[in-house]
Amino acid sequence: MKYPLSHSLGKTLSEKFEEILRFHIPPSPDKTILDPTCGKRYLWESLFNGLENTKQLDLEGNRITLPWKVIFSDIQDFGYNKVCDVKDLTVEAPVDGIVYDPPYFFGDKEALETDERREDYGSYKQSYEELLGFMDIANEKFPMLLKDGGKLILKCADQHYLGTNMFYPLHVTWIERLTNFKIVDFFVCPHHNMSPTAYVIKNRPCAIIMHTYFIVFEKGKKAE
């Protein structure tokens, strides 16, 4: 398989995301972007930092003005605009782009209750099979919400889970399962603060990651 490879080091994930978003969906008030897994909007921090009086809001809550119309949503109520499960989400008109960052942790369900990261980084109470379900939702649901030629910007990571001594190359799994999309760009963001022994010494309650990927897809059947 051949696809473009781009590197952008020395920036935060939110800065890299802003760079990718501006390139693939050039800013315009006539363009609409849907983020159905926005959580606490950490991915958007770089864009918010460039705005005055950033308390976020908008889609008629006002306060911030992003260079696109953005629909923020999630299954959990963080005081944003829409609260619903991704598979049940609808939009009034097809959108120009979708940003997708579903929960990627999975592992020891009992350890979830005492892990302080669960609210910030998503529950890993899910199983690997449930993570695959997020992939299938993207493949079947998102083409119906996107305009022709619309972009899907996916944030994902490979993982190693010591509990099963298994490595999961999830970026490959995403690419294989998104059969209704063509890949147009691929960004690798290494995590420099991860110990090389983290995989084998500490029995962590969840899978751990070494890289974050931003994969940009375009609506349309991939070439055989």
The answer on pLDDT for 142 being more than 80 is yes
Split at pLDDT 50, 70, 90, the class of 7 is: very low
- Asked whether residue 205 is assigned to any structural domain, the reply reads no
Section 53-78 average pLDDT? 67
| Collapsed DSSP state (helix, strand, coil) of residue 190 | strand
Q: Which residue has the higher pLDDT, 153 or 43?
A: 153
Mean pLDDT score, 177-195: 82
Instruction: For residue 198, tell me if it sits in a domain.
Output: no
- Indicate the pLDDT class of residue 190, thresholds 50, 70 and 90: confident
**Any domain includes 162:** no
Task: Give 108-124 pLDDT, tens digit per residue.
Answer: 555 556 656 555 555 55
Is 69 a domain residue? yes
Three-class SS of residue 16? helix
Asked if residue 64 has pLDDT above 50, the reply is yes
> Phi first, then psi: what are they for 99, rounded to 5°?
-105, 125
pTM to 2 decimal places? 0.80
pLDDT at 53: 47
31, part of any domain? yes
pLDDT at 206 over 80: no
Other Cβ atoms within 10 Å of 75 Cβ, number: 16
CATH number for the domain spanning 43: value is: 3.40.50.150
pLDDT band, very low/low/confident/very high, at 128 (cuts 50, 70, 90): confident
Domain count, the chain: 1
| 161 inside domain | no
Domain region containing 175:
6-156+168-193+214-219
Q: Which amino acid is at 17?
A: F
Q: How high is the pLDDT of residue 8? A: 45
Whether residue 199 is contained in a domain is answered as no
At residue 87's C-alpha, the angle toward residues 86 and 93, to 5°, is: 80
145, part of any domain: yes
Q: What tokens appear for 12 in the block?
A: 């935060």
Which pLDDT does position 123 carry in this prediction? 53
Q: How confident is the model at residue 134 (pLDDT cuts 50, 70, 90)?
A: confident
Per-residue pLDDT band for 149 (boundaries 50, 70, 90) equals: very high
How many angstroms separate the Cα of 64 from the Cα of each of 32, 70, 113, 139?
15, 11, 35, 31
Residue 141: partners with Cβ closer than 8 Å, 6 or more residues away? 86, 87, 89
24-28, 114-118, 208-212: least confident range: 114-118
Predicted pLDDT of residue 2: 39
Round to whole Å and give the CA distance between 206 and 122: 11
